[in-house]
Amino acid sequence: MNIITIEHIAKIYQVGTEEVQALRDVSLTIDKNEYVAIMGPSGSGKSTLMNILGCLDTPTKGLYTFTGKHVSDMTDNDLASIRNKEIGFVFQTFNLLARSDALHNVELPLIYAGIGKEERRERAREALTKVNLEDRMDHRPNELSGGQRQRVAVARALVTNPSIILADEPTGNLDTKTGEDIMALFETLYEQGNTIILVTHEEYIAEHAKRIIRLRDGLVEKDEIIETRRVAQPRQI
C-alpha cells in the first residue's frame, strides 16, 4: 500500500522578476515501511521536495496524494493536523524550543493533538527512553550535546506514532560516530515498521536506506534499490 503518491510536482519560486524552478516535474510513490534516501547536489531541490512531502509547503503544480487524500484540496487547519498526527519531522538544525526542557519539547506535538497531561507525560517519557535519554529529560537544549539534541528531535518526531518520518540531513551537523547513533535509531524505527525518508549528502549515510532517489536540477535523475544496505549498530554506551 503506498502512503505517498506525487504526480508531476513542480515548485516555482518568484525571486524579483526571475523564476526559480526548485522542482520541475517530479513523480514518485513511496510505500508503507519503505526506507528511502534522497540525494543530490546542493540546490537540486531536496529540501523543497521534503517540505512538500511533509505538508509544510504546497506545490505550484501537480498532484499530491497522502494516504489516499488530496493534499492540494486541504485547508491550513487540515495540513496542520496532518503534520501533527501523520508526520514526524527531523531537521538538520534540530529545531528544538530553546527555553523548554527535553520532556516539554517531546510533549509539544501531543499538546497540539489535545492529549491530556498524564498520558502526554507518559508517552513523552517513553519516547525519550527509546532514544536513550531517560536521564536527560529535564535538560534544556543548550545543556545537551548535538547528538543528544538530535535524539530529542527524533523522540519528538516519533512520539505521535506518525505514518512517516521525514529527516532533512539529520546527521549533517553531527560527527560520524554520533551520526551513526542517529542512524541506529532510524534502523530500529524501520525494523518496527515505520516509513522513513531522509535527505543526505553523504553516500555512506544513504546506503543505510533501501532505496535511493537522486535529484538533479529539480528532476529525478535516478531511482534505485540498494541490494546490500548498511545496517547501523547501536554503540555500546
Partner 1 sequence: MEHFLFELKEGLIIAFNAIRANKIRSILTTLGIVIGVASVVLMSTAIKGIDESFQESATSIMGTENIFIDKWAWFGDVPWWELRNRRDISMQDYRDFKAQATLPSAVVPRTVRRQTTTYGDVNVDGCFIIGTNQDYIQTTDLKFTEGRFFSEIESNAARRVCVIGGVIAEKLFPQGNGVDQVIKIRDKKYKVIGINDKQGSFLFGDFNPDNMIYIPIEAMFKDFQSRHRGGGISISVRAPTNQMVPAVKEEAISVMRRIRGLKYDEQDDFSINQQAALLDMINQQVGVIQIAGLFITGLALFVGAIGIMNIMFVSVKERTREIGIRKAIGAKKRTIMGQFLTESAFICLLGGLIGLFIAVLGAKIIEQYDFPVSVQVDAVVLAIGISLLTGVLSGLAPAWTAAKMDPVDALRYE
Ligand X SMILES: Nc1ncnc2c1ncn2[C@@H]1O[C@H](COP(=O)(O)OP(=O)(O)OP(=O)(O)O)[C@@H](O)[C@H]1O
Q: Give the binding range for partner 1 (CB under 8 A) out of 64-72, 103-111, 142-150, 212-220.
A: 103-111
Rule CB under 8 A: is residue 121 a binding residue for partner 1? no
Work out whether 91 is an interface residue with partner 1 (CB under 8 A): yes
The SS3 of residue 127 is helix
* Choices 34-42, 54-62, 129-137, 172-180; region in contact with partner 1 by CB under 8 A: 54-62
Collapsing DSSP states into helix, strand and coil, what is residue 49? helix
Q: Which does 22 bind (CB under 5 to 8 A by kind): ligand X, Mg ion, partner 1, none?
A: ligand X
Least distance in angstroms from the C-beta of 146 to ligand X = 18
Least separation in angstroms between CB 121 and ligand X: 36
User: Where do we find the cell 529529560?
Assistant: 137
Residue of 94, 230, 77, 81 whose CA lies nearest to 154: 94
Query: What residue 43 binds from partner 1, Mg ion, ligand X, none (CB within 5 to 8 A, per partner kind)?
Result: ligand X
Q: Is 10 in the site for partner 1 (CB under 8 A)?
A: no
Residues binding Mg ion: number (CB under 5 A): 1
Q: Which amino acid is at 229?
A: R
Q: Which is nearer to Mg ion, 10 or 184 (CB)?
A: 10
Report the Cα 182 to chain-centroid distance in Å.
Answer: 12
Task: Return the ∠ at Cα 177 (arms to 197 and 137), rounded to 5°.
Answer: 75
Q: Which residue of 22, 26, 45, 84 would you call a contact of partner 1, by CB under 8 A? A: 84
CB of 220 to ligand X, least distance (A): 13
Q: Is 111 in the site for partner 1 (CB under 8 A)?
A: yes
Give the binding range for partner 1 (CB under 8 A) out of 17-25, 36-44, 85-93, 126-134: 85-93
Closest CA to 218 of 52, 55, 16, 79: 52
Residue type, 105: N
Cell of 180: 551513526
Burial class (CB in 10 A: 0-12, 13-18, 19+), 131: buried
C-alpha cell at 186: 532510524
48 binds Mg ion (CB under 5 A): no
Q: What angle do CA 183, 156, 42 make, to 5 degrees?
A: 55
Binding of residue 113 to partner 1 (CB under 8 A): yes
Judged by CB under 8 A, the chain residues 149 through 208 that form the site for partner 1 are 156
Give me 68's grid cell: 489516499
Which residues lie near partner 1 (CB under 8 A)? 51, 54, 56-57, 76-77, 80-81, 83-85, 89, 91, 95-100, 108-109, 111-114, 156
